[in-house]
C-alpha cells in the first residue's frame, strides 16, 4: 500500500449515528496509508461504537470527555487541537454540523475544532429529510464559508428505510478525498511535455532489423512523473512492452524517421521536449523487399547511412522551440561526451548515464544520471527509475522557469 499519508496526523471526530460503525474501517484505511490517527467520540457516538474498538484499530487512546481531569490537567483539548494536521468528522450528524456552524464548544470535539488551525472536513450522515432541511443546508453553507471541506454525502437506501441523499461516504471514498487534500501541488499545471522513449527498429528486410537494448522504462517513468506533476504529456514510443501511464497520450513509431516526424510535429506545440529514446544511429540504405537468404557466402555486407539526429533537430527549431533535454547513454568518458553533446546539439540540459553495467540503464529497474546544464551539474545516485524520474522532472521544471 502506497504511504500517501505518511506521517500525517489525523484527528477523527465521530458523532452519533448508525454510520459510526464504519469509522473503525475508516481508521484502518487511513493507517494503511501511513497516517497516525487519534479519535474523539461524542457522547452519542459511544452508543454506536466503543472506545475500546477504536483504540484497538488506531493504536492510540480514544478521547471522549472535555472534563476528563487526567487529560485536562495538561490542557488535553488544546494538545489535541495543536497535534492534528487534519481534522475529519465522520460521521457528522445534523446536530454536530449545527454546533460547528454556530461556533459552539460544549464538548471535546467542538472545542478541539475551535482551538485548531488545521484544515477540516465533515462527512454528513443523516436521514435524507434532515439533510434537505433548510436549516441543515444553511449550516453546511456556513461551514463552507468557514473553509470546511464537505465530503459527500452519498445517496441511496438508509437505515430508516428512506432513500435519498444523506448517507456517509464509504471509508475508501473518504480516504481518497483525504489523500487528495495532501497531494503535492501540481507545479507543471498547464505545461505541455513531449517525451520520446524506447528503441527504434531499422528494417533490413521484412524479417530482420537493427535495434538496441532499450526497454523504454526510463522514458515511461518520466512521462508518468510529468503527468503526476500536472503536465499534459505526449509520449512518442518505439516498440516496447510497457503499458501507457494513465493520462498520457501515446504515439507509437518504429523507425528513427517516423520518430523524427512525430517529434517535430509535437515539439512545436510543447513547452518541454525530453529525448529519452535510444534512437538507432544508422539505418540500412536499401531495405530488401524480400527476406535475405544466406546463400553460400560467409559474409553479408550492408550499406548503412546515418539516421537523423532527433534531439538536435528539435533544439535547432527557430520558432516555437521547446526547452530541450537530451539523454547521453555512454560506456566510457560519460561526462566528457555528455558535455560535448550539450554544446554541439545546443541543448538546454542533458542527462548522462553509464550503460556499461547491468545494474543500471538498459532493461534494469534502476538508473543513475549526471544532469548537466549550462552553468551547473548535479549527480543523481542509483535509485528506482520512477523515483529518479520524479527528481528529473522537478529539476527540469526548475530550470525551465529560470
107 labelled binding-site residue:
no
Name the nearest CA neighbour of 35 among 178, 144, 135: 178
Distance CA 58, CA 234 (A): 43
Residue located via cell numbers 487519534:
38
Would you place residue 129 in the very low, low, confident or very high pLDDT band (cuts 50, 70, 90)?
very high
Range list for CATH 3.40.50.1950 in the chain: 9-182
Q: Is 276 annotated as a binding residue?
A: yes
Structurally, at CATH architecture level, domain 192-400 sits in 3-Layer(aba) Sandwich (3.40)
Nearest to 331 by CA among 355, 367, 364: 355
275 marked as binding residue: yes
Secondary structure of residue 248 in the 3-state scheme = strand
Tell whether the model's pLDDT for residue 75 goes beyond 50: no
pLDDT digits (tens, 9 = 90+) for 245-289: 989 999 999 999 999 999 999 999 999 999 999 999 999 999 999
Inform me whether the pLDDT recorded for 361 exceeds 70: no
More confident residue, 136 or 68: 136
Kindly indicate the confidence band of residue 152, based on its pLDDT and cuts at 50, 70 and 90: confident
- Over residues 231-255, the mean pLDDT reads 94
What pLDDT is recorded for position 267?
A: 97
Mean pLDDT, the chain, rounded, equals 90
Q: Is 18 annotated as a binding residue?
A: no
- State pLDDT tens for residues 96-115: 999 999 999 999 999 999 99
pLDDT on residue 73: 40
- Asked if 270 and 194 count as a contact pair (C-beta separation under 8 A), the reply is yes
With 70 as the cut, is the pLDDT of residue 388 above it? yes
Pick from 382, 388, 334, 338: nearest CA to 356: 334
pLDDT at 1: 65
The fold for domain 9-182 equals Rossmann fold (3.40.50)
112 annotated to bind ligand: no
For residue 5, is it left (φ>0), alpha (ψ between -120 and 50) or beta?
Answer: alpha
- Report the percent of the chain where pLDDT is more than 90: 67
The pLDDT of residue 211: 93
pTM of the model: 0.58
User: CATH 3.40.50.10300 region(s) of the chain?
Assistant: 192-400
Catalytic sites, residue numbers: 160
281 has binding-site annotation: yes
Structure-block grid coordinates of residue 23? 469509522
Write the burial class of residue 82 (CB in 10 Å: 0-12 exposed, 13-18 middle, 19+ buried): middle
Amino acid at each position: 500500500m502506497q504511504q500517501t499519508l505518511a506521517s500525517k496526523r489525523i484527528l477523527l471526530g465521530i458523532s452519533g449515528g448508525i454510520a459510526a460503525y464504519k469509522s473503525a474501517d475508516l481508521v484502518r484505511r487511513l493507517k494503511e496509508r501511513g497516517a497516525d490517527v487519534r479519535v474523539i467520540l461524542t457522547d452519542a457516538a459511544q452508543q454506536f461504537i466503543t472506545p475500546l474498538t477504536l483504540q484497538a484499530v488506531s493504536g492510540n487512546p480514544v478521547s471522549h470527555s472535555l472534563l476528563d481531569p487526567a487529560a485536562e490537567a495538561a490542557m488535553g483539548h488544546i494538545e489535541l487541537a495543536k497535534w492534528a494536521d487534519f481534522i475529519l468528522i465522520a460521521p457528522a450528524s445534523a446536530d454536530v454540523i449545527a454546533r460547528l456552524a454556530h461556533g459552539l464548544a460544549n464538548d471535546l470535539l467542538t472545542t478541539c475544532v475551535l482551538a485548531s488551525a488545521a484544515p477540516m472536513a465533515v462527512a454528513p450522515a443523516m436521514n435524507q429529510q434532515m439533510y434537505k432541511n433548510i436549516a441543515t443546508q444553511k449550516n453546511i453553507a456556513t461551514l463552507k464559508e468557514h473553509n470546511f471541506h464537505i465530503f459527500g454525502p452519498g445517496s441511496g437506501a438508509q437505515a430508516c428505510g428512506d432513500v435519498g441523499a444523506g448517507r456517509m461516504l464509504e471509508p475508501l471514498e473518504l480516504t481518497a478525498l483525504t489523500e487528495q487534500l495532501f497531494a503535492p501541488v501540481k507545479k507543471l499545471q498547464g505545461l505541455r511535455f513531449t517525451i520520446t522513449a524506447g528503441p527504434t527498429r531499422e528494417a533490413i528486410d521484412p524479417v530482420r532489423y537493427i535495434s538496441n537494448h532499450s526497454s523504454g522504462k526510463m522514458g515511461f517513468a518520466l512521462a508518468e512523473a510529468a503527468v503526476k506533476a500536472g503536465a499534459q504529456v505526449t509520449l512518442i514510443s518505439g516498440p516496447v512492452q510497457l503499458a501507457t501511464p494513465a493520462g498520457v497520450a501515446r504515439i507509437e513509431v518504429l523507425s528513427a524517421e517516423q520518430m523524427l516526424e512525430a517529434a517535430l510535429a509535437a515539439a512545436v506545440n510543447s513547452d518541454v521536449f525530453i529525448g529519452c529514446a535510444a534512437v538507432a544511429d544508422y539505418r540500412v540504405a536499401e531495405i530488401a523487399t524480400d527476406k535475405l537468404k544466406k546463400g553460400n557466402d560467409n559474409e553479408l555486407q550492408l550499406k548503412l547511412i546515418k539516421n537523423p539526429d532527433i534531439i538536435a533537430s528539435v533544439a535547432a527549431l527557430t520558432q516555437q522551440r521547446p526547452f530541450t533535454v537530451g539523454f547521453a547513454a555512454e560506456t566510457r568518458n560519460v561526462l566528457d561526451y555528455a558535455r560535448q553533446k550539450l554544446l554541439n546539439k545546443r541543448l538546454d540540459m542533458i542527462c548522462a548515464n553509464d550503460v556499461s553495467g547491468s545494474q543500471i540503464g538498459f532493461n534494469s529497474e534502476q538508473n543513475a544520471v549526471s544532469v548537466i546544464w549550462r552553468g551547473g551539474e548535479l549527480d543523481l545516485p542509483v535509485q528506482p527509475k520512477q523515483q529518479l524520474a520524479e527528481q528529473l522532472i522537478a529539476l527540469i521544471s526548475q530550470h525551465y522557469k529560470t
